[in-house]
Amino acid sequence: MKRIFIILASALTIMGANAQTTQKLTATKANEYGIVYSLPKTVLDITIETETTVKEPGEFYKYAKKYLNENNPIDKRSVKTVIKNVYVTPRGIADPEERYVVTFKPGNSPYLLINSENLPLAVNTEKTLKNDNPTLPAAQQAEPTPLQTDAAKQVISEEMLQSQSTAKKAELAAAQIYSLRQYRTDLLTGQSESMPPDGNALQIVLDNINAQEAALTAMFAGTTQVSTDVKTITYTPDEEVTDELLTRISAAEGVVDKDDLSGAPMTITVKVIQKGEMPVNEKGNTLPFPKNGFAYRIPGKIEVTLVCDNDVIFNSQFETSQFGITYGLNPNSFTDKKEPLYVILNPVNGAIAEMGDATVQQ
């Protein structure tokens, strides 16, 4: 094994299927049969999806009970943000202290697949570990309220505009609601004096009536808008921590900086539950690192707990490179003339995910 801290030139071929993320490094005479790569450090991408609900009172909320028999109209503006989902996705980044070169025997032209972080994905095979990370949500803007539609402009009559009395405006708005309801009933029962010529035209008229009624009703009952936001914090679990402040969640603004005291604290606890151990032989003796071996990681395992405002919002376990150890494979295994070895690696924690005979791989 040779640990290096400079990047050496290697023969490079871009893989067509993943040209932006995957490269194929081949051991040739041009690079003295040596391939350079890094082992990963595991980081956690903590994605927080928040949901914000904004409630606004209508202009006539005081008259909601009188005219519409609405007992619980929105009577004051409120903004409330809650955590909807939390996703923790482990990801591998190149560890600057874990950079290696592996030298192969000339002959069979073994090759190494690496990703954009220079982390090994596979040796002697173009198969790689399937990415099973969850699909993360996108932020969603709030839908317009009934008062933000074109229909809201249509329902304001000239008499409502001219009136200086809020009570009178409310009375006129309520009367218009009941007129719209009667008109809809007449259309649906075929009793209207001016029926639309066909079904499509009828639906257009009904949709407009419904939109106008919704706008007028919102003037009494109020409006509610719901939107979501998504933010990701990258955290590196280098040591055990207990209730370390990660960020804060504000009721008005969602995820805010951890120094913003307007938000409730979100903390992270990292507990090491297993450290990587060197392999041993049948007698229990530690196996030595192969000479000039192809280095990989035997990962450790941690438990991650996220707490916000005294509630546990996430708890799970992850294998991580930094709580493991580095071991290696004999590089001659990859150039064996009868049974050359292939290996598929996990770029998140550096572990071997699959290995076998390169001549019979499926």
Q: What is the pLDDT of residues 256-290, one digit of tens each?
A: 999 999 999 999 999 999 999 988 888 888 888 88
Q: Which residue did the predictor score with more confidence, 194 or 141?
A: 141
CA atoms of 88 and 139, how far apart (whole Å): 17
Asked if the model's pLDDT at residue 17 lies above 50, the reply is: no
CA–CA dist 195, 209 (Å, integer): 14
Assign 5 a pLDDT band (cuts: 50, 70, 90): very low
Q: What b/e string do you get for 207-235 counting C-beta neighbours within 10 Å, with b at 16 or more?
A: eebebbbbbbbbbbbbbebebbbbeeeeb
Q: Are 253 and 81 in contact (CB under 8 A)?
A: yes
Lookup: tokens for 132? 């099973």
Which stretch of 58-72, 104-118, 211-225, 254-268 has the lowest confidence by average pLDDT? 104-118
For residue 13, is pLDDT > 70?
no
Q: How confident is the model at residue 9 (pLDDT cuts 50, 70, 90)?
A: very low
Distance between CA atoms of 267 and 260, rounded to whole angstroms? Answer: 14
Chain segment 204-263, per-residue pLDDT in tens: 999 999 999 999 999 999 999 999 999 999 999 999 999 999 999 999 999 999 999 999
Residue 140 DSSP code:
B
C-alpha Rg value of the chain to the nearest Å: 32
Q: What is the DSSP string of 196-245?
A: -SSHHHHHHHHHHHHHHHHHHHHHHH-EEEEEEEEEEEEE---S-EEEEE
Closest CA to 267 of 241, 228, 232, 229: 241
Q: What is the largest CA-CA distance in the chain?
A: 98
List residues bridging with 66 in a β-sheet. none
pLDDT, average across residues 56-82: 95
Angle at 305 between CA 303 and CA 309, to 5 degrees: 170
pLDDT beyond 80 at 4: no
Question: What pTM value is reported for the model?
Answer: 0.84
Q: What angle do CA 254, 260, 265 make, to 5 degrees?
A: 70
Alpha carbon dihedral 201, 203, 204, 209, in 10-degree steps, equals 130
Looking from the CA of 120 toward its CB, the CA atoms found within 13 Å total: 30
Structural tokens at position 110 = 């073994």
**pLDDT tier for residue 7 given thresholds of 50, 70 and 90:** very low
Is 83 strand, coil or helix? strand
Residue (of 89, 82, 29) closest to 54 by Cα position: 82
For the chain, report the end-to-end CA distance as a whole number of angstroms: 30
